[in-house]
Amino acid sequence: MRSRVLLVDSDPEGLAGLAQFLARHDLEVLQASSVREMDQALAEAEVDAVILDLMRPGEKGLAVCGKLRAHPSAPAVIVVSAVADEADIVVGLEIGADDYVAKPCRSRELLARLRAVLRRRGEAVSVARDRARSESYHFEGWRLSAATHQLFDPNARPIDLSPAEFNLLRVLVAKPQEVVPRSELAPGRPSGEARDFQINVAMSRLRRKLVRAEGGARLIRTVRHGGYLFTVPVERISP
């Protein structure tokens, strides 16, 4: 599968030229000429890396980098900037950039740095996924297995969950006794009636399965205008 890269640059010529170059090297390329367009692109598709040309040097530009690092999908970030001062490079890296390239830069050098960043990100994601798949969550006698997507009630009886039901429950048990907004239950998907309907259906089915066991009815509480709350403490068991 090709890696997907988002280019953020206010210079139309530079944006188009770099996009064509990267596309010729087996990368799927998205483009944005402003922060608003960047936000829209990230809401519509998950990307592996962002090449961010700091359109506004200084604090405002670096704030965009921090915003990307806080995004749910946490793409890798390469900052490209005409400012090559050591202090700016250090700040850029500390705020979340994976690499910092000073202008003018050669396309092939940028491609090499991008591939290195993507390789490191891929390795980190693989390790995290393997670890996450082997984890289990325990709460008041219940157990949720990340490896098998199965839920076991306090009497050790298995409760089969659909992928949508499992994903909802896993998000909630990962943040016990904390209000989880609906937007976090379907990360990467734009908001709208279709997404809300899917969440409602999956949540309704999940709750019907939980109430079949003693204590299951009180595990998930709806918080009006807030989201959902998993009401009991959770112990995460890692290998």
Say whether both 123 and 10 belong to one domain: yes
Query: Which CA distances in Å does 6 have to 143, 164, 175?
Result: 39, 28, 30
Tens-digit pLDDT profile for residues 131-162: 556 688 999 999 998 878 889 999 988 988 88
Say whether both 50 and 79 belong to one domain: yes
pTM for this predicted structure: 0.54
> What is the Cα–Cα distance from 90 to 198, expressed in whole angstroms?
43
Q: Token pair of 12, please?
A: 């139309």
The yes-or-no verdict on residue 58 having pLDDT over 50 is no
Domain of 116, in residue numbers? 4-131
CATH number for the domain that contains residue 154: 1.10.10.10
Tens-digit pLDDT profile for residues 74-88: 788 888 877 666 666
Q: Decide if 185 contacts 223 (C-beta within 8 A).
A: no
Say whether both 58 and 155 belong to one domain: no
